[in-house]
Amino acid sequence: MSRDSRYDILFEPVKIGPVTARNRFYQVPHCNGMGRTHPTAMAVMRGVKAEGGWAVLCTEQCDIHPTTETSREIRLWDERDIPTLARMTDLVHEHGSLAGVELTHMGYHASNLTSREVPMAPSAKPVLGINPVHARAMDKTDIADYRRWHRNAALNAKKAGFDIICVYAGHDLSIAMHFLSPRHNQRTDEYGGSMENRARLLREVIEDTKEAVGDTMGVVVRLAVDELLGDKGVLAEREGKEVIEMLGELPDLWDVNCSDWDNDSITSRFAEEGFQEPYIKFVKELTSKPVVGVGRYTSPDRMVSLIKKGVLDMIGAARPSIADPFLPKKIEEGRIEDIRECIGCNICVASDNLGVPMRCTQNPTKGEEWRKGWHPERIASKDTDDRILVVGAGPAGLEAARALGQRGYDVMLAEAGTELGGRSARESRLPGLSAWGRVRDWRVGQIQNMPNVEIFMDSRLDADQVRETGCSLVATATGATWRRDGGGRYHEFPMPGAVDNAQRVLTPDDIMDGATVDGPVIVFDDDHYYLGGVIAEKLAADGHDVTLVTTGAYVSTWTQYTLELGRIQARMHEAGIEVLANHAVTEVGDGSVTIKPIFGGQAFERACGHAVLVTAPLANDMLYHDLMADEAALKDAGIRRVTRIGDGLAPGTIAAAVYSGHRFARDLGEPLGDAIPFNRELVELTETFAMP
């Protein structure tokens, strides 16, 4: 297929100072949970994106000195860090793309728990978070040191083969941004007070960098033009505009966004694609230099519109480049329908916050490019004569059938219901989760073009029927069902009264099935991810009086990793939902529940028409056990292996289910055995050491 001429503008080259990007696709800096701990995995991940057509590939934040230290991100403290990063630049250059590095000093944002250096900031203040650490106010020597460290890191980046230096003043994660911000900078010298003074350090660092490498490397400034904090923070119409007016012609490109990270990477539950446009659209009016911005863009028509309207010169992306590393190439080759669109769930962000290699709900190969040799677009052709039955067309079953079909296997996909997608379809109808339907839509669209994959709807199979299919491999992707008895993390056994008063108990499955609900409603969330809060939100929108009881310190506590925690608490308040955190529902009665503080205190009763128990799902693995109970019958039927996948093996995230289905398609359920199933990077010990 050939490219639609409407999209030709996306493939025009863009000059970034002395270097030229081959098209307008710019992967902005993003963390990935790999960094210096898994440097080859990080490098190969970026290289795959370059292969996929991204013209610029930037690192995550790169610490420049021991006074700014994080546990897992990359570093350019000195020349010893160069080989690690050169591995990335080599792989990016293989595909004709540019490599950029985001040089960072995190100021008061870094506790420096490993280096044990005292953090520093424009003004003295406690570090971000709850660590008992304080940052000291920078004096003139500190400012000079910081400028020198940044310049040295830029020179080392040049030696590592980078083409672009990103001067970082965004996300409230850098000293340069802290100097700009009136809430962080209370100085009274020439670096404080007026906007010109507060921008002095950023100007100096840009000029230092240009002087050091500007004749051979592009110098980019990443700037948060608005913190969405009102008058107490940086505002686009105030500091944002003033900075661009003063410094607009200094760098070779402006990378603009909204701070902090939970705004820049806001989930689809709380914002539509492109929500930052009103805040950044002024930038191109004030500078002749190219501008890049982000908005979780996946539509080429939207991208073209942004360029033609003069909002952006380059299409920035982090999450869309994770969901589909080949997004540019698919547009270039006229394969728009093959784009694997980001759903905005922030599982990628959670991975980094948890310190593990990145994963993605839509792209199960993310983070496994080097570890397992998984490519997002290529998969080995079939190497057996198996005909394969996949039972269940939820996220795991759809991905297994799709990837098996791509390999060339003949696949039967049997779905017990009348709708494809399983939980991804059901949950996408809940408030804020409509984008999650892309998990289903993309896979169904791919399968529909595969003549070797047959779909059988309304086909609930028992063990006898499975054995009659003539398939030699079987994957049971039969999902999970939420418990009705209240068992979970807090209640290791069934909750008292939940069975005896079953007429008062509902589960998330019931709510998604449209069950009649009598209020007032008590939602007991012992799951701690998104579903308890979303269910409560839906019930409140339906007009019910809702109280959410959770054993967590907050509603949906785990969403601290997906950057949603604060917005979810606000949403509960806006919806009029009473929240009882650090409490548990301990018993269900006939018309009431008993609630108890989990850290001591008196239990009390609360009237309710229904209690919705969001405690734990259980795998629907009956079919698997029925099949495995008669090995002789399996052998007679020619079935050589039965494998549970997705929630039918163990309930988890949708990302985990998709990964499980993809893994089955790759290894056909081969037993794990004693071998480690992925590559590891081992620490190389120094040749000499001396005992103290």
> Among 111, 121, 105, 116, which residue's Cα sits nearest to residue 166?
105
Residue of 26, 30, 31, 530 marked catalytic? 31
* 637-653 per-position pLDDT tens digit: 999 999 999 999 999 99
Which carries the bigger pLDDT value, residue 661 or residue 173? 661
* 105-124 per-position pLDDT tens digit: 999 989 999 899 999 999 99
Whether 134 sits among the annotated catalytic residues: the reply is no
* 321-351 per-position pLDDT tens digit: 999 999 999 999 999 999 999 999 999 999 9
Number of neighbouring beta carbons within 10 Å of residue 516: 7
- The average pLDDT across 293-307 equals 97
Whether 297 sits among the annotated catalytic residues: the reply is no
pLDDT at 596: 98
Q: pLDDT at residue 415 above 70? A: yes
Q: What is the DSSP letter of 503?
A: G
* 229-272 per-position pLDDT tens digit: 998 899 999 999 999 999 999 999 999 999 999 999 999 999 99
* 191-232 per-position pLDDT tens digit: 999 999 999 999 999 999 999 998 999 999 999 999 999 988
Three-state DSSP class for 32? coil
Q: Residue 128 has which token pair?
A: 């971000």
Architecture, CATH, for domain 5-354: Alpha-Beta Barrel (3.20)
pLDDT at 661: 98
* 465-485 per-position pLDDT tens digit: 999 999 999 999 999 999 999
pLDDT at 691: 76
Q: pLDDT at residue 684 above 80? A: no
pLDDT at 35: 87
Domain 387-479+620-667 has CATH 3.60.15.10: no
> Which residues, 6+ apart, have CB-to-CB distance to 266 below 8 Å?
275, 344, 563, 567
CATH number of 484-617: 1.10.260.40, 3.50.50.60, 3.90.1170.50, 3.30.2350.10?
3.50.50.60
Residue of 171, 178, 184, 491 marked catalytic? 171
> Among 125, 142, 176, which residue's Cα sits nearest to residue 67?
142
pLDDT at 70: 78
Alpha-carbon separation of residue 276 from 271, 543, 582 (angstroms): 10, 32, 35
pTM exceeds 0.85: yes
pLDDT at 71: 65
Whether 260 sits among the annotated catalytic residues: the reply is no
Whether 464 sits among the annotated catalytic residues: the reply is no
Whether 387-479+620-667 shares its CATH topology with 484-617 is answered no
* 278-294 per-position pLDDT tens digit: 999 999 999 999 999 99
Residue of 172, 208, 264, 647 marked catalytic? 264
Where do the domains of the chain lie?
5-354, 387-479+620-667, 484-617
- The average pLDDT across 603-608 equals 97
Q: Residue 621 has which token pair?
A: 């693995």
The answer to whether the beta carbons of residues 224 and 177 sit under 8 Å apart is yes
Residue 508: asked if its preceding bond is cis (omega within 30°), the reply is: no
Residue of 26, 108, 146, 168 marked catalytic? 168
Average pLDDT, whole number, for the chain?
Answer: 96
pLDDT at 171: 87
